[in-house]
Amino acid sequence: MSGPTTGEPVALAVDRIRCDAHGMCAELLPEMIDLDDWGYPIVATAAVPDVLLADARRAVAACPLLALRFRPLARATMRVPAAARVPAAIPGG
């Protein structure tokens, strides 16, 4: 079973190219994942709260295409911060 083991905060990320709108992630974690008009996930970018970690692991394991995964939070990257490109608040990842 996949999942964070270190106790550090994690969030969810979708491999947008792999995702094919099966929608099981939204069924298993409706608190953090919504579906748009075409069945593709709108994922909350915040850290996964402890109480939802088990459900989040199930959602990650359930994706038939392995498109949902955990990502560490607050990782320094070379990417331009989202605010620099899209000044309006981003509703989801």
Partner 1 sequence: MSDQILWFASRGSGVVSLILATAVVCLGFLTVARWQRPAWPRFLTAELHRRIALLSVVFLAIHIITAVLDPYTSLGLVAAVVPLASSYRPVAVALGVISVDLIAALVVTSLLRERIGHRVWRAVHWVAYGAWPLALLHGLTAGTDAFTPWLLAVEIACCAAVTAALAWRIAAGSPRRALLADVVSTSSIAAPATSRRVR
Partner 2 sequence: MLPRLLAGPPLAAGPESLKDHRRRLGPLAPVADGRAVIDVLASSGLLGRGGAGFPVARKWAAVADRSAGDAVVLANGAEGEPLSAKDRTLMATRPHLVLDGAELAAEAVGADRIVLYVGSEHVAAGTALHSAVAERAADRRAAHRIPVTLLAAPPTYVAGEESAAVHFVNAGDARPTGTTPRPFERGVDARPTLVQNVETLAHAALIARNGDSWYREIGGRSTRGSALVTVGGAAGRGVTEIAIGTTVAELADLAAVRGVPGAVLLGGYFGRWLSADEAIDLPLDPVALREAGSAFGCGVVSFLDRSACGIDATARIIDYMAGQSAAQCGPCVFGLRAIADATARIAGGTAASDDLERLTRWSGQLAGRGACRHPDGAAGLMQSALRVFADDFVAHARRRRCPVAQGRGRAA
Which residues of the shown chain bind partner 2 in the complex (CB under 8 A)?
Answer: 14-17, 19-21, 36-40, 42, 45, 77-80, 82-88, 90-93
Work out what residue 5 binds among partner 2, partner 1, none; the CB cut-off runs from 5 to 8 Å by kind: none
Footprint on this chain of partner 1 (rule: CB under 8 A): 2, 17-18, 20-24, 27-28, 62, 64-66
The phi and psi torsions of 72 (rounded to 5 degrees) equal -70, 150
90 burial (CB, 10 Å; 0-12 / 13-18 / 19+) is: exposed
Is the Cβ–Cβ distance between 29 and 48 less than 8 Å? no
7 or 75, CB closer to partner 2? 75
